[in-house]
């Protein structure tokens, strides 16, 4: 393990973590405002990728990057207005189920329209190639673009929440929607705005991740469970917690994938050779990279046991 490897892995991890944050930011805001865990959040991410892919053929990549999230944001807002708001009075279980239903609906519609296989959503020429090479390891332009967009979004969301009127109302409504409504604010409309905004943010993440990674029907499920982990680990409803958890999980997963170390390889230099005949060889020879996919969930379980409110979460009243 050398410096170049660490630097590149760290950057890959941060870029993946920032991507996770773009998704979990909306999810955690929606949760703390409306008390709804939006199961369809990753579906908006997937829609963003597919919309951008289809629009790219018509209007080019850069306009598509703006139009696709706006379109998905609109769909999100409409879904909140005409579906979620109607079932609101039946309680959180009904709301949860309807977002669950939506996620399946989106999946099936995507498969009907674009097919079950991955679509060739290619990077635009400007983002192809590598940004720099450290020793032998390359860092692609597309990943740095993800970082750039995510950081811009982060700053924009932060300014919106802390410096503007709607941000003040959102912050107030996070804790106390009834009082906000009693002060003359149209809280249902603010909810719609936040839901639509969260969907648009997820779609933007999809639009920039879809061509760096792969645009396929399973992309929603792949990232969906991870962002739930992020939201729980960071602390339900905590934006800063989601940020920390996103980076943490992004970095841990990226490093883990790159590490081909197992208990067996650690024991080797100590003179203990682990051969297939030894009891528990299957476990001892497991490399960290093989375990990478389960690490976030392991994290989730540990956090729930030792710190149920998450890293930066506060007790909910």
Residues lying near another protein in the complex (CB under 8 A) are found at 160, 163-169, 171-172, 174-176, 178-190, 193
Cβ-based nearer residue to another protein, 147 or 190: 190
Alpha carbon distances (Å) from 5 to 254, 261, 262: 11, 15, 19
Give the chain's radius of gyration (CA, Å): 21
Nearest approach, Cβ of residue 190 and another protein (Å) = 7
What does the alpha-carbon distance between residue 140 and residue 195 come to, in Å, rounded to a whole number? 32
Residues ≥6 apart with Cβ < 8 Å to 274: 263, 264, 267, 268, 281, 284, 285
Quote the least distance from Cβ 315 to another protein, whole Å: 11
CA triplet 185, 190, 194: central angle to 5 degrees?
Answer: 160
Closest separation in Å from C-beta 47 to another protein = 24
Nearest approach, Cβ of 73 to another protein (angstroms)? 14
> To the nearest 10°, the Cα dihedral for 42, 226, 317, 313?
-130
Min dist CB 166 to another protein, Å, is 5
Which residue, 124 or 188, has its beta carbon nearer to another protein? 188
Q: Would you say 27 or 180 has its CB closer to another protein?
A: 180
Considering beta carbons, is residue 186 or 268 the nearer one to another protein?
186
Q: Measured from the CB atom, is 80 or 216 closer to another protein?
A: 80
Confirm if 11 and 143 have CB atoms less than 8 A apart: yes
Cα–Cα distance, 111 to 189 (Å, whole number): 32
Angle 102-110-84 from CA coordinates, rounded to 5°: 15
Q: What is the nearest approach in angstroms of another protein to the Cβ of residue 96? A: 24
Pick between residue 35 and residue 188 the one whose CB is nearest to another protein: 188
In the bound state with another protein, the residue whose beta carbon lies nearer, of 179 and 266, is: 179
Beta carbons within 8 Å of 236's beta carbon, 6+ residues apart: 28, 31, 32, 309, 310, 313, 316
> Cβ 198 to another protein, closest distance in Å?
15
């Amino acid at each position: 393990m050398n410096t170049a490897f660490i630097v590149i892995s760290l950057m890959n991890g941060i870029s993946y973590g920032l991507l996770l944050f773009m998704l979990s930011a909306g999810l955690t805001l929606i949760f703390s405002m409306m008390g709804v865990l939006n199961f369809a959040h990753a579906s908006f991410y997937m829609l963003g990728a597919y919309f951008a892919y289809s629009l790219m053929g018509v209007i080019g990549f850069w306009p598509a990057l703006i139009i696709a999230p706006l379109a998905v944001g609109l769909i999100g807002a409409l879904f909140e207005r005409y579906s979620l708001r109607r079932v609101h009075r039946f309680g959180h279980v009904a709301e949860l189920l309807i977002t669950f239903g939506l996620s399946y609906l989106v999946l099936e519609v995507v498969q009907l329209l674009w097919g079950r296989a991955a679509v060739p959503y290619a990077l635009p020429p400007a983002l192809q190639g590598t940004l720099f090479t450290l020793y032998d390891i390359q860092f692609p332009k597309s990943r740095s673009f993800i970082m750039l967009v995510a950081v811009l979004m982060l700053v924009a969301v932060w300014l919106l929440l802390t410096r503007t009127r709607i941000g003040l109302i959102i912050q107030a409504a996070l804790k106390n929607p009834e009082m906000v409504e009693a002060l003359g604010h149209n809280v249902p409309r603010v909810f719609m705005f936040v839901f639509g905004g969260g969907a648009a943010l997820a779609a933007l993440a999809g639009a920039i991740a879809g061509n760096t990674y792969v645009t396929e029907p399973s992309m929603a499920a792949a990232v969906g469970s991870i962002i739930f982990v992020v939201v729980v680990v960071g602390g339900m409803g905590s934006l800063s917690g989601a940020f920390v958890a996103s980076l943490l999980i992004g970095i841990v997963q990226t490093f883990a994938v790159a590490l081909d170390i197992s208990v067996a390889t650690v024991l080797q230099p100590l003179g203990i050779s682990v051969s297939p005949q030894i009891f528990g060889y299957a476990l001892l020879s497991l490399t960290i990279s093989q375990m990478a996919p389960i690490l976030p969930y392991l994290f989730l379980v540990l956090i729930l046991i030792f710190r149920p409110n998450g890293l930066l979460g506060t007790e909910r009243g």
